[in-house]
Amino acid sequence: MHTEAFFTNIRAVLLREIGLARESVHVAVAWFTDRQLFAALLERQRAGVPVALCLTRDEKDINLQPGGLPFAELQAAGGRLTVVEGRLMHHKFCVIDGRDVLTGSYNWTNRAADSNEENLVLTTGDAELARHFLREFARLTGQPDPAPDAALPRVLKRLGLIQSLLALHEVFQPDAAGRLAALVIAGIGVSNGVASYLGQKRGSIATLKVL
């Protein structure tokens, strides 16, 4: 994990990070008029990297005014656009590949690039931080939460330990694996989705033979 703050050449940082995206790009930004940044998003979408964009619609209608950015092109390429109306969606954040987060004062506008005093903080390799922003993105857009359950990796690790115990002759009773999996579920208070996943795994674990 690495965090760095930028106060100049912010557009270049955004262009670089968008260009590195290989899995997904989620952007929530109040105002968006920068054609270079839009072109970078469109290129990623056309390259097969899903892009989801959330904008605000204010009384000036800056984002959707005639002659503005061609958001329809992004949608035609398969990208997703959500426009928040009735309240000011004032966020400025971008999540790359579910693990890198860019956020700060910087709106994706020409004025921000050319004349404003702005800041941007880039945190890479922090999936937990990214999950928080992805959940907020899901709330804003009304879309399913794209952030994976944080408990799942811990559960899978514990299941691996259970398998190791079986292999080391530590468990001999026929139903022991099933009971141990149940303890894993109860012990860490995981979500229903993870509990269901573990329930599916119990059968395969219970059939492991002691070597």
Q: Could you give the strand order of the β-sheet that contains 120-124, starting from the edge strand earlier in sequence?
A: 2-6, 120-124, 100-104, 92-96, 25-29, 51-56, 80-84
Helix ranges (DSSP H) in the chain? 10-20, 35-46, 71-76, 110-114, 127-141, 152-167, 176-188, 192-206
The token pair that represents 90 in the structure block = 């004032």
In this structure, the number of other CB atoms found within 10 A of the CB of residue 40 comes to 21
Residues noted as catalytic = 90, 92, 97
The token pair that represents 186 in the structure block = 């109860």
Rounded distance, CA 37 to CA 29, Å? 12
Residue 14 has phi, psi (to 5 degrees) of: -60, -45
Least Cα distance to 90 among 74, 72, 103, 80 occurs for: 103
Rounded distance, CA 193 to CA 58, Å? 38
19 Cβ contact partners less than 8 Å away, ≥ 6 residues apart: 40, 43, 44
